[in-house]
Amino acid sequence: MEPADEALCARVARRDEAAFELLVSRYQERAYRLAWSILRNAEDARDVSQEAFIRLYETAGSFQGRSKFSTWFYRILVNLCLDHKRKHKWWKLWVRDDDEERSETILDRQPAPANDPVDKLSREETLKALGSAVDRLAPRQRAAVLLRVQEDMATYDIARVLKCSEATVRVHLHRALATLKKTVEKR
| Residues found near another protein in the complex (CB under 8 A) | 21, 24-25, 28-29, 32-33, 36-37, 42, 45-46, 50-51, 53-54, 57-58, 99, 101-102, 105-106, 109-111, 126-128, 130-131, 134, 145-146, 148-150, 154-156, 167, 170-171, 173-174, 177-178, 180-181, 184
Rounded least distance, CB 53 to another protein, Å: 6
Query: Rounded to the nearest whole angstrom, what is the least distance from the CB of residue 73 to another protein in the complex?
Result: 14
Beta carbon of residue 105, minimum distance to another protein (angstroms, whole number): 7
Pick between residue 29 and residue 83 the one whose CB is nearest to another protein. 29
Cβ 173 to another protein shortest distance, Å: 5
Amino acid code (one letter) for 182: K
Nearer to another protein, 82 or 177 (CB): 177
- Using CA atoms, how far residue 87 sits from 40, 52, 92, 179, 182, in Å, is 15, 17, 10, 25, 30
- What gap in Å lies between CA 90 and CA 64, rounded to an integer? 37
Cα separation, 28 vs 14, in Å, equals 21
Residue with smaller CB distance to another protein, 42 or 164: 42
Contact between 45 and 36 (Cβ < 8 Å): yes
Nearest approach, Cβ of residue 124 and another protein (Å): 10
Nearer to another protein, 94 or 186 (CB): 186
Q: Quote the least distance from Cβ 7 to another protein, whole Å.
A: 21
The CA distances from residue 150 to 38, 54, 87, 146, 147, in Å, are: 11, 23, 25, 5, 6
Cβ burial, residue 120 (10 Å; 0-12/13-18/19+): middle
CB-wise, 94 or 170, nearer to another protein?
170
Of residues 25, 66, 62, 32, the one with CA closest to residue 46: 32
Nearer to another protein, 29 or 116 (CB): 29
